[in-house]
Amino acid sequence: MSVLVRTIQRAHNVLSQTLGFSNTSSYIAESVTKSPFESNILRIIRNEMEFLADIAPPHQAYEKKLLNNPLRDIKVQKLVLNISVGGESRHRLTRAAMVLHHLSGQTPVLSKAKHTVRSFGNRRNEKISCYVTVRGDKAMQLLESSLKVKEYKLLSRNFSDTGCFCFSIQDHIELGFKYDPSIGIYGMNFFVVLERPGNRVGRRPRGKARLGIQHRVTKDDAMKWFQGKYEGVILNRPELI
């Protein structure tokens, strides 16, 4: 539709330059004697202007319908909580897994190091972290409580180009847990994956299809979603305390 409109407007400009006037409306309204050639040209332009006036409201209605389309709504696909302890004792990793279990009600998965980093004390294939993936209402509750700890403030660099964002907290007891000396205090990372309805076509085992670029969640979409849903604040740089 927009291509047709631009084509008509381009033809209108060419006709205007041919006749040597700049304002079509004022020229049409003038009650002067015109030649048959000019009359035919003006009739064509008048019909084009009426056509543009007729198609404009449906075009605007289409854009409004697109904004109200439920398939364009953004939702949380999953929330991943991760605690990394590095090359510290195995007991500390076990206690970190207990924190995630109490927080999510699910059994965490232990992750191994891919490379040996001597400065960090990590060896290849050594278990150094644990994570858990939460979905549904439980994910929304954890996301709400964790963003409350951050005072609903995130950095623009926390958002990725694929529509995901992540942040971290320093103390897990800020989520409402009572301090337990036998467990200690752990910080954790939150990874939020956003999507639109229908994204499953890109990852289902059968009938997989490529997801359209207009249906993908971009960085701007994720930032607008965060600001609209949680009235969040996005900062360009960390606040100095």
| CATH level 2 (architecture), domain 72-235 | 2-Layer Sandwich (3.30)
* CA 48/CA 53 separation, integer angstroms: 9
pLDDT digits (tens, 9 = 90+) for 28-54: 444 444 566 666 666 766 666 665 555
- Residue 14 phi, psi (nearest 5): -65, -45
Tokens found for residue 109: 């998965």
Distance from the Cα of residue 216 to its chain's centroid: 8
Where are the chain's structural domains?
2-68, 72-235
pTM: 0.68
**How sure is the predictor about 158, in pLDDT bands with cuts at 50, 70 and 90?**
very high
Helix-helix angle 136-149:90-104, to 10 degrees: 110
* CA 145/CA 152 separation, integer angstroms: 10
pLDDT digits (tens, 9 = 90+) for 70-114: 888 899 999 999 998 876 667 888 999 999 999 999 999 998 888
Q: What is the pLDDT of residue 227?
A: 92
